[in-house]
């Protein structure tokens, strides 16, 4: 198996943690509400603070990925996602829940932008649409399914409530962070972590022309003229 598919698999795992963080409280909302006496409006605000923080944090994470590489940015982001989920699980008040939801949004924002750069380096242009679609669809589906099915099942049948079930999944996410650090690579060997492949193979290149001129005494002089051409993709 070409290593780019390993990159895609662990990228999907990382995005699963991001999407789980986005929707983690929805499957256990009634338990959180009963525990802390929250109404539906309060639960809605918990979703909003995550999304605002997530949106604002994407650009800084993009800069971090370009500077230090996607592997480091994603590994750090997934670790922070685990820590902030654990903080959410031990919150004792509504304000603490909001704080941890906001920091959770900042942490979870790391994966998508950093993986977009990594996939652009590992996959050829003709494969990028497929790999981006698989990355987003599979990661989002597993993440949301875990939040709405696995987490409440753990809370009801295995763990002692929503707090312990969230802590269990935070531990699993921490393990995924370790796996990402071990197996993800920011770029193929010999390529810079901030380098991008050309948009299309064969759209640009250099052409050279050589000409020989006769000199007195039978000698020749060779002149070479080179130019750069670009053909935009259709």
Residue 108 has pLDDT above 50, yes or no: yes
Rounded Cα distance between 72 and 102, Å, is 22
Assigned CATH topology for domain 3-183 = Growth Hormone; Chain: A; (1.20.1250)
Tell me how far apart the 2 most distant CA atoms of the chain are, in Å. 102
Q: Where in the chain is the domain with CATH 1.20.1250.20?
A: 3-183
Q: What is the pLDDT of residue 196?
A: 57
Query: Of 115, 114, 107, 111, whose CA–CA distance to 53 is shortest?
Result: 107
Residue 229 has pLDDT above 80, yes or no: no
Calculate mean pLDDT across residues 170-185. Answer: 96
What is the average pLDDT value for the chain, to the nearest integer? 86
DSSP 210: E
DSSP 160: S
Calculate mean pLDDT across residues 182-211. Answer: 64
Question: Taking the mean position of all CA atoms in its chain, how far away is CA 120?
Answer: 12
Report pTM: 0.80
127-157: string of b/e by CB count within 10 Å (b at 16+)? eeeebbeebbebbbebbbbbbbebbbebbee
For 124, list phi and psi in degrees, rounded to 5: -70, 155
Q: What is the pLDDT of residue 204?
A: 46
* Contact of 151 with 54, CB cutoff 8 Å: no
Give the pLDDT confidence of 29-87 residue by residue, as tens digits.
999 999 999 999 999 999 999 999 999 999 999 999 999 999 999 999 999 999 999 99
């Amino acid at each position: 198996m070409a290593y780019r598919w390993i990159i895609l698999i662990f990228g999907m795992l990382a995005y699963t943690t991001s999407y789980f963080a986005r929707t983690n409280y929805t499957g256990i909302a009634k338990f959180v509400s009963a525990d802390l006496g929250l109404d539906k409006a309060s639960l809605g605000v918990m979703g909003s603070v995550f999304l605002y923080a997530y949106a604002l944090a994407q650009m800084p994470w993009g800069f971090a990925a370009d500077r230090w590489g996607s592997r480091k940015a994603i590994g750090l982001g997934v670790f922070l996602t685990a820590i902030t989920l654990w903080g959410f699980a031990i919150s004792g008040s509504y304000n603490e829940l909001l704080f941890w939801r906001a920091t959770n949004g900042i942490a979870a924002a790391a994966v998508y932008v950093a993986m977009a750069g990594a996939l652009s380096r590992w996959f050829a242009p003709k494969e990028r649409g497929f790999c981006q679609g698989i990355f987003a669809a599979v990661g989002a589906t597993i993440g949301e399914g875990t939040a709405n099915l696995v987490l409440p099942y753990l809370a009801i049948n295995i763990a002692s409530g929503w707090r312990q079930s969230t802590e269990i999944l935070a531990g699993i996410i921490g393990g995924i962070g370790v796996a990402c650090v071990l197996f993800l690579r920011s770029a193929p060997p010999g390529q810079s972590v901030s380098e991008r492949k050309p948009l299309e193979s064969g759209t640009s290149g250099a052409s050279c022309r050589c000409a020989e001129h006769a000199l007195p005494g039978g000698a020749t002089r060779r002149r070479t003229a080179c130019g750069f051409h670009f053909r935009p993709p259709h």
